[in-house]
Structure 1
Amino acid sequence: MTLLRKKRIFYLLLSFLVIFCVFALRIAWIQTHSALKSVTIGGKTINELAVRQREESIELDSGRGHFMDRNGVPLTGGLTWTPILFPIKEVPAVQKLNKLAALLNTTPSTLRGIWSKLDKPYVWPEAGTSRIASEKTKKDPMKLNIEEAERFPDLNGLEVLPYVSRYMPGERGNQWLGYVAQRPDVIQKLRVEKHHPELSLTLQIGASGLEKTFDGLLRGNGGSVRAAYTIDGAKRPIEGIGTRIKADNSRYYPLQIRTTIDEQIQRDIERLVTQMHIQEGAVTVLDAVTGDIVAMVSLPFYNPNQIDPSVSNWSNRAVKAAVPGSIFKTVIAAAALEEGVSSPKETFYCNGTYGKYGIACWKKGGHGPITLEDGFAKSCNAVFAALGERLSSESIAAAASKLGLGRTIGWETASFLGGPPLKQLDQEEQGQVFYARTKADGGVRAQTALGQRDVLVSPLQAANLVVTLLHGGQVTAPRIASEIRFKDGTLMASFPRQTAPSSAGQISPRTAKLLLSWMRRVVTDGTGQSLEQAKWPLAGKSGTAQVEHGGKTLNHQWFIGYGPTHNPKYALAVLVQNRPAESKHQAKELFWRVMDLLASDPQK
């Protein structure tokens, strides 16, 4: 393929991506090459069917729909120049491959060994990979700019073509996006149950995250682009034909899905947790006004281009339930106030131990005489163990449900566009308050009140609990997608904000307001005083939960809250998992530093 023609293809593809960024749509790429025609070579006419039988083709763009962030920044679909090797009979000799091998970061002999064994087109991988990657260990394609692409030699069977990568290279903490993979078992089911016999068994479909929940809308319904390298029956290039580009055209597809995610904030938090050397956990940032998901970082990171199903790093810990520790005292305080079993100024006495059930306060020697309000700010275990014994298990479970715990809360609908139900969040766990078979006696309730025993809460639920308080007790249903548009930019569907009410009702605005003020006292007078150094005035609740992990007793560290207190913009939940006992409370520091990032955001 001539350089002029390569540039023409590249700039047409580049124009497509620019339009996608601005208008959230994609146009047909290369209409003039959308169909193969009969050609004459050496006085002999070769018809379209004959040429097609001698093509080696590769997909440059699958036509699958794309995601963007709330500002229109693309989250999938990166366009670069990529070297592609096509299987041919006469692979260049080793001595002719020196320049190409150097550009591909490999040796001439290795390059020739790979090329000579090809039975299908091969996208050269990044950073000198010297073997053909399997589908399971698929590598990121080599990415070149136009100047680098121009340096490649003109060799039969080699093309440097514009190539659309589904994901950016490297590891990220955006497991909510998910990944695509070949799932023949799923395709077979779709062929039979959904009457889609046209689906190829090798089609890449959503396997997790948004890729999975929106797969039926994203799946290649149009706009695919392929490059076909023509050879004769002996696998020799046919002179005069070269590489052909074929594009399917559709006015409406592929679709574009706008998320509620702010990609810049997402990346900033990912960099921050990396700098802090945090290994396990999650950070969830919600818009305090809308309840929308602004960022959701899960650790450890994953690479959507290299998924090993046996390794769980692709799982989104932000929606997975974990032992919450003292952040659950917010629920107990709400239950006690709503049920009238205590009041803010009631005085308890803490001597460092509760006296039964093996419960001790975190402060050696205890807090002495302490009110409920101060007990919340200082996270006194004696106060809340006593409240747990006073409350019934039904009251505790009801208060949790009223605050959005013990059930899934992500945005969903029973029917979407007249079709099947749509649930935006993949992998979301409902958590629990009491294990179903546990007899909730006084000891169980006392331990439950401290956020231990059987209690499980996800970071998403914890952040949404804060939003619930900010909304006067009304539980919102967090969105991660706001709308879908057709390729031409017209609106296909929107996802209106919605609530997730509990059958138990909701807590009163008065209780919600009181708990928010107590969260402020946690920072001014309690366990979160180090946050007074933050750029914004903040409010929150800390938590530490003991867990058994790998035969050791470790801690889950939590901090939840909101800021700025005078005009709340964000609600935030931080979970740092499996920390050594007595170690520094990283969740508190991370909460503070994330809030400082948000305070520095020019769009705040």
Structure 2
Amino acid sequence: MRERVGAGREPGGEGRLWLLGFLIFAVFAVFLGRLAQLQLVEGAELRTRSERNSIRTVRLDAPRGQILDREGRVLASTRPAFDLELVPSEVRGSDLTYRALGQLLETDAAPIRERVERRRGRERFQPLLVKADLPYESLARIETHRYALPGVVTEIRPRREYVEGDLAAHLLGTLGEIRADQLEKPGFEGYRSGEIVGQTGLEAVLEPTLRGTAGGRNVIVDVAGREVERLDEVAPVPGRDVVLSIDMDLQRAAWDAFREDHPEDPNDVGRLGALVALDPRSGDVLAMLSRPSFDPNSFAGGVDPKTWRALLQDPHKPLQNRNIQGQYPPGSTYKIFLAAAGLETGLVTPSTRVFCPGSFWYGNRSFRCWKKEGHGSVDLHTSLVRSCDVYYYALGVRLGVDRIASFAKAFNLGRITGIDLPDEKPGLIPTSEWKQRRFGVPWYPGETVSISIGQGYDLTTPLQLAVSYAALANGGTIYEPRVILRRRGADGEIEEVPPVEKGRLPVRPENLAVIRKALEGVVEQPGGTGSKARVPGVAVAGKTGTAQVVRLEKFQGVKESKIPLEYRDHAWFVSYAPAENPEIVVAVLSEHGGHGGSAAAPLAQKVLARYFEKRGVVAPAKAQAPVPVPVEEEEDPVIEDVPADGGSDPEPGAATPSDAPPGADAVREASDGSGPHG
């Protein structure tokens, strides 16, 4: 028997299949209906919302590492600041946005628009810095009108702050927006346009150390640029801190000394010049001051054009670090190098005497000593104590220019010192070969007379003289000046920077001792030209120098305070103390200050006194009685022609400052009212 078709099927099965099919159809109908609603009814609104909400990557700048002095006092740190930025891709060329920004910031909006429109490719999606360190008043106005400013972003970023202002500006340096040429250089990989980086001083040298590593955050923002949702974040890594060799107590003492007023001189605009203090036992830079100065805080977020122009056009060159970039005739501070050369070559001994009648005849010319009546018969010791020019005229002629240059360069003159600061100048120590190569004419004997007392072509920086005197003071070791003592990271890791020995002086200890004894006499002995550097309870050694800037015949007999500042002589004093076991060297240049003994030595004295006051050796400065100084032993300058700006190397074929041909003698005859510097 055949089974019937459909036999065995459960009762009602067809109904359930029909129901299942209906349910599936209903679900699809609902989905299709919702899809139609989204597309046809709500589509425009949803598209607008999706366009207005966007993902933005926010850069999280790393705080720069702190810069501290040797005692841990903060010199440079960071603080929170508000930066105003624009995202070019979101501005869409809106004139309204630019006009509104200009009104709210009270500035011309055209430069902002130009910078935004220069952005191309991926850069258009990166925020562009419009104004750094936004004042709170401007910030409030921006936030109030945020809805009318598409693409405008305000971010809290770390901002550099220099605690002591202009007190150590040249040493610490400045920040600035990275230049286009820097972006192409090695070492700037990963930097982007608009970043603030170290541009001068230690900020530039230590850029890789201080910078740290930036982080980032991905966020969803609405049309007003407000954060709607934070997606993810990589925290920034702060830069490492740096401890310097600088002692801010000595830095401040130097600053205060240079800022003293001179009410008796209505033409004086304040002391200009430089001061550097070293530890001769290590090369540590204890103080470094250059005047005039500037406030590095004005550069922290990028300097404004008006401030920049004013600094560049200032005739006193406040941006120049005179300690390493100012090149000046060393005057009589140069005499110790001839003394060392004379002793080492056997041309003189400590007892060799020269009679000084007030002038020195060479050929048919007479060259004056700074002391017109002369010093009489002087030995090597007295020649340094009283800074007798005639002694060094005679010695210089016997040595010759090339032998003088050899010893001067052995003391590290005529070359950079190697200090860890950028743009150091080498100075100039002339040779016969240099003269021939530079000007195409031979060296003339009269020029040897001139350079023997630190005039003519001789050019040095204050730091060079400090380094050379430090080597003399410590027994012959030349140290590379050290500004950076150590680097330390957030994890506590410390990297020490050891002292660097550059070499030894080619001078025997007994000859160094002769010169050192004489330099002590310059300050401590009656009749010494550096008496104003005396510190009660401490034996000080040093050497004065007075370097002429231009010929001064028309000012003969005129009181120095009545001579225009730019025509006055430069004043030098290089010193160390204690004389027997030196701990500190101080070199001072008082630019257009006059005489070394009266203008520069007192400035060094204040720094020396502060150093030994801190060590409990001397009483505080206010309790010290003034030290009497014999005025009659003040050095007077020689009248001769030298580079006037203290910073230039003569150009090939250029005339000397007197408009004489390049080969003309630099030292003038006594008959025309000239005489040598002391």
TM beyond 0.5: yes
The alpha-carbon deviation at position 519 of structure 1 amounts to 0.6
- 2:236 is matched with 249
Distance 1:143 1:462, change over 3 A: farther
Query: Which residue, out of 574, 577, 584, partners 1:563?
Result: 577
Secondary structure of 1:410's counterpart equals coil
- Paired residues of 2:350 and 2:380 also in contact (CA < 8 A): yes
What is the Cα deviation at residue 58 of structure 1? 8.8
Residue of structure 2 equivalent to 1:17: none
Residue in 1 aligned with 2:451? 448
For residues 241-294 of structure 1, the C-alpha deviation after alignment (integer angstroms, 9 at most, x for no partner) is 8x99977234xx522222211233223322331235743211000013212111
- Deviation, structure 1 residue 111: 8.8
Assess if the C-alpha contact under 8 Å between 1:349 and 1:370 holds in 2.
yes
- What amino acid maps onto 2:213 in structure 1? G
Write the distance in 1 (CA, Å) between the matches of 2:295 and 2:616: 29
Letter in 2 for 1:389: V
| Corresponding residue number in structure 1 for 2:464 | 461
Mapped to 2, the partners of 1:257 and 1:48 lie a distance apart of 47
Aligned to 2:294: 302
Structure 2 residue aligned with 1:315: 320
Q: CA RMSD in A?
A: 4.2
- Structure 1 pair 490–372 and aligned structure 2 pair: CA distance change class (3 A): same
Structure-1 separation of matches of 2:537 and 2:215: 48
Q: 2:426 matched to 1:430?
A: yes
Kindly tell me: are residues 47 and 388 of structure 1, through their superposed partners in 2, closer, same or farther at Cα, counting changes over 3 Å? farther
Map of 1:417 onto structure 2: none
SS of the residue corresponding to residue 437 of structure 1 reads helix
Q: Which position in structure 1 is the counterpart of 2:354? A: 348
Cα gap change, 1:593/1:164 in structure 2, threshold over 3 Å: closer, same or farther? same
Secondary structure at 1:164 match in 2: strand
> Would you tell me which structure has more helix in proportion to its own residues?
2
Structure 1 contact 209–426 (Cα < 8 Å) conserved:
yes
For residue 384 of structure 2, give the secondary structure of its aligned residue in structure 1: helix
- Partner residue of 2:545 out of 540, 543, 561: 543
Residue 375 (structure 2) pairs with residue 367 (structure 1): yes
**Which structure 1 segments of 5+ residues have no match?**
1-42, 89-109, 121-134, 412-423
**Distance in 1, Cα, partners of 2:51 & 2:257:** 56
Which of the two has higher C-alpha Rg?
A: 2
2:367 is paired with a residue whose SS is coil
Residue 225 of structure 1 contacts residue 247 of structure 1 at CA under 8 Å; is this kept in 2? yes
List aligned pairs for 1:87-126, cutoff 5 A.
Answer: 114=106
**Aligned with residue 490 of structure 2, among 487, 491, 507:** 487
Describe the shift of the 1:139–1:264 C-alpha distance in structure 2 as closer, same or farther (beyond 3 A).
farther
Q: 1:259 to 1:208 in 2, by over 3 A?
A: same
Uncovered stretches (5+) of structure 2, i.e. residues with no partner? 1-45, 88-101, 114-128, 147-152, 262-268, 437-441, 552-563, 618-678
Distance 2:160 2:206 in 1: 19
CA drift of 1:52 comes to 4.3
Supply the distance in 2 between the matched residues of 1:517 and 1:400 (Cα, whole angstroms).
20
**2:70 and 2:245 in contact (8 A); partners too:** yes
Range with bigger deviation, 331-340 or 562-571? 562-571
The yes-or-no answer on 1:390 pairing with 2:398 is yes
Query: For the residues of structure 2 that align with 1:589 and 1:514, how far apart are their CA atoms?
Result: 25
Asked if 1:410 is matched to 2:418, the reply is yes
CA drift of 1:211 comes to 1.9
Residues 583 and 372 from structure 1, CA distance in 2 versus in 1: closer, same or farther, beyond 3 angstroms? closer
Cα distance change, pair 247–175 in 1 and its aligned pair in 2 (3 A): farther
Which SS does the other structure have where 1:585 is aligned?
helix
- Cα distance in 1 for partners of 2:501, 2:534 equals 33
Q: Does 1:510 align with 2:510?
A: yes
**One-letter code of the match for 1:408?**
I
1:403: Cα distance to partner?
A: 1.5
Is the Cα–Cα contact under 8 Å of residues 85 and 115 in structure 1 kept in the other structure?
no
Please tell me whether the aligned partners of residues 434 and 440 of structure 1 are also in contact (alpha carbons under 8 angstroms).
Answer: no
Q: Which of 327, 330, 337 is equivalent to 1:324?
A: 330
Q: Residue 22 of structure 2 corresponds to which residue in structure 1?
A: none
TM-score by length of 1: 0.71
Q: CA deviation at 1:200?
A: 0.3
Partner of 1:293: 285
1:486-538 deviation line (CA, Å, top 9, x unaligned): 331213x4322111127xx6211222222111111111231112333545321
Tell me the CA shift for residue 143 of structure 1: 10
Shift of 1:205: 2.1
Contact 1:173–1:302 (CA under 8 A) maintained in structure 2: no
Structure-2 change in CA distance of 1:189 and 1:582 (3 Å): same
Distance 2:144 2:359 in 1: 79
2:175·2:203 contact (CA, 8 Å) conserved in 1?
yes
Answering whether residue 586 of structure 2 is matched by residue 572 of structure 1, we say yes
Quote the offset at 1:189 in angstroms.
1.4
Equivalence for 2:601? 588
Native 8 Å contact 1:352 1:360 kept in 2: yes
